[in-house]
Structure 1
């Protein structure tokens, strides 16, 4: 491992150290569960101080790329750099509310449009049956009126994440799961709960699922984008009505 590192640049030392170790992890030179060399050895390899090294390791720990274990048998161990861990950064952005409603809408339009189109081109009979069952479940929630609103929202999420699974791209899948696992903070503040909104959302979901089942990628994309735009307009409208939120 010693030959894989080079002397760090003096103008951004701890970032350089972190980037070098990160590159080795992401390129598979060190694997999950493997222990990095001791702090003294790493300082010698990078020709830098222990303080600089610790700053670099903190960055990597925050990115969930390494785990720092205390004690005699402790040390710095590489974690599994999966797409799930990378999606945590997106989750943190959503939770912090540093992403505006407009930015979230733009991002979701592109992602969910692409995912729906892929799902339409890749769905199998069993996938379509699953989506139809979820639509039927959403219909039952709709029949309950406002008392079924919370369950309807949950089924809505299930439909979107199922479409992401059918699309067959793990990056899209992880990203959308991250969004839907954390978007409730926006729901709670800005999403109006009404029978009209429920009916409109239900009709959108039906059209998306029907397009996927028919293998119509272009229609599925457009219906998904329209659905996100409608949803986003609800949020923006309530935000304008309640600027203190």
Structure 2
């Protein structure tokens, strides 16, 4: 492991240099998932650095989820999961939530969601249809005064359409966006008369297109739904 844990030298921010060196080794798969790192003493000798600089680097790597420190056992390269990436984006969107972010989210949805609906129509399974159908039934039965529950159901529907694509990159990209839909809907639609009927009808049309595996129709029905969202946003939120 000399090429990974060679001497750092006397450059500034030794802990950052150590962190970068170990991260690069993980990215380049010189250190594989589950691999055990040398002990602190061994790493200090290999890098020719103090234990203080090393521990700061290890602390940051652990905080970022790149390594796992097991007391009494050692340090190991972590397995990064889809949930980890989604959680980081969720935090970013939560901290950045404002009217400007809502506008940007709607723009992204206009670009991606029609194509996601097309992919879902092409790749969906019977199990996907059952889940989506249950979402629509729950939406139709939801008390119109319970805007929070209604928003949560719509969030689930769009997330399940993304899952029906069978593409994990779609899920990573869109799930943090969908997590904002309840907050967006409560803000935008709270006082929009008749929106419940339109929403149920629009989502039923999307589901039926997916059921028929008609990718082009699913694309167009999603366009209708997103354009309505943009229309309501422009009319109400910008007042």
Map 1:194-233 → 2, pairs under 5 A: 194-233=192-231
Aligned residues: 236
Q: Which runs of 5+ in 2 are unaligned?
A: none
Partner in structure 1 of residue 171 of structure 2? 173
Q: 99-108 or 83-92: which moved more? A: 99-108
Partner in structure 2 of residue 90 of structure 1? 89
Relative to 1, partners in 2 of residues 1:5 and 1:172: Cα closer, same or farther, differing over 3 Å? farther
Is 2:122 the counterpart of 1:132? no
Q: 154-163 or 124-133: which moved more? A: 124-133
Relative to 1, partners in 2 of residues 1:47 and 1:217: Cα closer, same or farther, differing over 3 Å? farther
Compute the TM-score of the two structures, normalised by the length of structure 1.
0.76
Distance 1:48 1:30 in 2: 20
Give CA deviations for 1:222-245 in whole Å, capped at 9, x if unaligned: 43344334335545555433xxxx
Give CA deviations for 1:14-52 in whole Å, capped at 9, x if unaligned: 444333323433455445554422233223333444444
Match of 1:151 among 134, 149, 152: 149
Partner in structure 1 of residue 67 of structure 2? 66
Superposed displacement of residue 181, structure 1: 3.6
Superposed displacement of residue 93, structure 1: 0.6
Superposed displacement of residue 91, structure 1: 1.1
Partner in structure 2 of residue 77 of structure 1? 76
Give CA deviations for 1:152-207 in whole Å, capped at 9, x if unaligned: 22221221122122100122224433333455444454443544222232232122
Relative to 1, partners in 2 of residues 1:116 and 1:14: Cα closer, same or farther, differing over 3 Å? farther
Distance 2:136 2:145 in 1: 18
Superposed displacement of residue 150, structure 1: 3.0
Contact 2:33 2:78 in 1 (8 A): yes
Distance 1:109 1:28 in 2: 37
Compute the TM-score of the two structures, normalised by the length of structure 2.
0.78
